[in-house]
Amino acid sequence: MKVAFVTHYDLHNKWRWSPHLIGHFGTSYYMAQSLKKHCDLEFIGPLADNYSLVSKVEYHTHRLLNIKTYHAWAAPSININYAQQIAKNILIIKPDIILCPHMNVIAYLQCKQPIVLWTDSLYAGTMSTFPDGEPCQTSIRHLKTLDKLALKNCKLIIFSSDWAAQLAIQTYKEAESAFLERFTEGTASRKLSAKIKVVPTGANLECNRTKNEIENIIKSKSSKVCKLLFCGVNWQRKGGDVALEVAKQLNNSGLLTELTILGCQPLADESLPDFVKVYGFVDRSIQEGQKLVESLFTENHFLVLPSKVDFTPGVLREASSFGLPCISTNIGGIPTLIRDGYNGKTFEADASISEYCGYITDLFANYSKYIALSLSSFQEYQSRLNWNAAGEATMRHLQSIL
């Protein structure tokens, strides 16, 4: 099977990736690597960014007026041009399947080969978190159009979480007819599910750790001092304030606790306590940055990510690869990644600080339970949160549409 993997950027030149999209582009890179073992993979990209004059004027006008962002990359003109560039490459490569991790790139693509989308979510679920600004009304309209066209255009859609799959069905009921045209049996929901699949993606790092190594990592941790790791680039959205309050209350209750903050600077009204250590943003594309991140995953007892808005944070999968239990919230795609009692626990978005603290305190008071949870976290990584598993599952779905 020959698969054309399409990105508008250079997938193999990490130095040219946008800093605020490194995680997103990194996921695409590992997607491709997971498929290379199983098929003949051809790459299409980078594509030329041919922005229209209208898009450029709209973008700069919105910036000058300091109003919501006009996302030029979502405009029809550039994405129609992307589709035209891809179509030309398809004629040369002659693949069996077109696979892309971005809706906008294949929304307008017309070709005889089946098109597959493998992504975290529709734009409908992510607009409020765009790193370059909340979309203006024109861009919202463009983004919704891209969602609908991609849903209609693809023969197979693979999401990384159950939440994203349900969002696709619930948000775009008007696109149901596009789904139904392809299927003739069963209820509408069953016909939709035949086109939409869920495959959790893996950790965006190289992992060859063994169970023995994880056991040694766990043994090296103190059972007297609780070490919490918060990892996120957006302090407020990722729940950094909650993580800080949890650490404070644990210390006040008598459990010595340290909090490490990685990825951002905390937004606090008061000076940080001595038990808080801040690293800020760390460039993981360089060896020193990656080593630091890995040492923090190894040293800490819990990854604490009480997100208020989130989808499928890659850091949760990475934590499991170190046997690091995760404490997060029951929102977005997080419950697909974190299974209560297996690799951590998810709390409701309005859970109290004392609920978080009670969970952590109980595990420290019964430390054998913590050890078992850490080993189980690594097992979750080995069984389903790694790229080998993701690649094999996706290949089965690709074979089913040929």
**Residues 240 and 97 placed together within one structural domain of the fold:** no
- For residues 81 and 242, give the distance between their C-alpha atoms in angstroms, rounded to a whole number: 45
For residue 226, what are the β-bridge partners? 257
**Residues 369 and 391 placed together within one structural domain of the fold:** no
The CATH number of the domain holding residue 286 is 3.40.50.2000
Predicted local confidence at residue 179, as pLDDT: 44
**Residues 287 and 377 placed together within one structural domain of the fold:** yes
Which pTM does this prediction carry? 0.88
**Residues 363 and 258 placed together within one structural domain of the fold:** yes
Burial 279-304 (b: 16+ CB within 10 A, else e): beebebeeeeeeebbbebbbbbbbbb
**Residues 122 and 246 placed together within one structural domain of the fold:** no
Residues with pLDDT less than 50, the chain = 175, 177-189
Contact present, 8 and 45 (Cβ < 8 Å): yes
Contact present, 34 and 391 (Cβ < 8 Å): yes
**Residues 302 and 318 placed together within one structural domain of the fold:** yes
Range of the domain at 315: 211-383
**Residues 197 and 217 placed together within one structural domain of the fold:** no
Strands 276-280 and 40-44: unpaired
Measuring CA to CA, how many Å separate 332 from each of 100, 115, 122, 243?
Answer: 22, 26, 12, 19
Predicted local confidence at residue 141, as pLDDT: 92
**Residues 274 and 162 placed together within one structural domain of the fold:** no
**Residues 188 and 215 placed together within one structural domain of the fold:** no
- For residues 172 and 323, give the distance between their C-alpha atoms in angstroms, rounded to a whole number: 38
- Is the Cα dihedral 15, 16, 21, 24 positive or negative? negative
Report DSSP state, residue 299: H
pLDDT in tens, 137-190: 999 999 999 998 998 899 999 999 999 998 888 876 654 544 444 433 344 445
**Residues 332 and 319 placed together within one structural domain of the fold:** yes
**Residues 182 and 215 placed together within one structural domain of the fold:** no
Domain tally, the chain: 2
**Residues 41 and 162 placed together within one structural domain of the fold:** yes
Measuring CA to CA, how many Å separate 47 from each of 98, 99, 393?
Answer: 15, 15, 28
